[in-house]
Amino acid sequence: MSDTNAYFNVDHTFNAYLEPWPTDLPLATESELMAMLPVGLQLISQVKALEASCLVQLRHLDDEAKSVVDYLKLQSKKIDLVLQHVIEQQQQQGECYKGVSFGGSGLRLVSPTVIDKQHYKVTLHIREELVSILCIAHVDTITEQDDGLYRIDLSFSQIIEADVEQLVKASLSVQQKQLRQRKQRNHQS
């Protein structure tokens, strides 16, 4: 993605599974990427799309419907949790890395070893935000840190547009929670 499409990243831990993209193949298109989604990711993607569509319609209801909306959000969250659990139990392809920040344009991982600067098929799981996506990302920079680990910055080369929206919403949600926690700590001091 170009700098004109840059989104801010938020610090948060998550799991990312990287599998090198074959150098002799062109990058997958968005429709090809969607066809590569495992069943669990397809389900969670469809559920998120349906939920987003319904919530837009429900926002136009009056205050009396607020309890119905809250109940439906709770039901949706329960479904998301079950799907997330199912996905986490499935065998993941690729090597697992610890993610330390993410946003709508890319992610940052830490690793005890250097990886090649190339494209990777990335399966990303942000448990607390109920986000699981599949994308293709390119390693932009690798920096050795003082602790001996390597900071690996990747930018998305191919990602489903709805997944960008999920990541942006998740990054805003994480940032909001972090600000609340900081505010609470400042009040307790």
Per-10-residue mean pLDDT, the chain, length 189: 67 96 95 87 75 70 71 75 70 90 97 97 90 95 97 97 92 93 85
For 180, residues 6+ apart whose C-beta sits below 8 A from its C-beta are none
If you ran DSSP here, which 8-state letter would residue 112 be given? S
Which residues lie below 8 Å from residue 152, measured CB to CB, with a gap of 6+?
A: 97, 108, 109, 110, 111, 115, 139, 141, 142
Domains in the chain: ranges and CATH: 8-22+29-188 (2.40.10.220)
Tokens of 17: 């599974």
Question: pLDDT value at position 38?
Answer: 81
pTM for this prediction: 0.80
What is the structure's pLDDT at 89? Answer: 67
- Count of CB atoms within 10 A of residue 40's CB? 17
Would you state the pLDDT for residue 2? 41
In sign, the C-alpha dihedral spanning 87, 89, 93, 96 is positive
Which residues, 6+ apart, have CB-to-CB distance to 9 below 8 Å? 101, 102, 103, 105, 106, 107, 108, 171
pLDDT at residue number 26: 96
The per-residue pLDDT for 4 is 45
pLDDT of residue 5: 57
Antiparallel, parallel or unpaired: β 9-20 and 106-111: unpaired
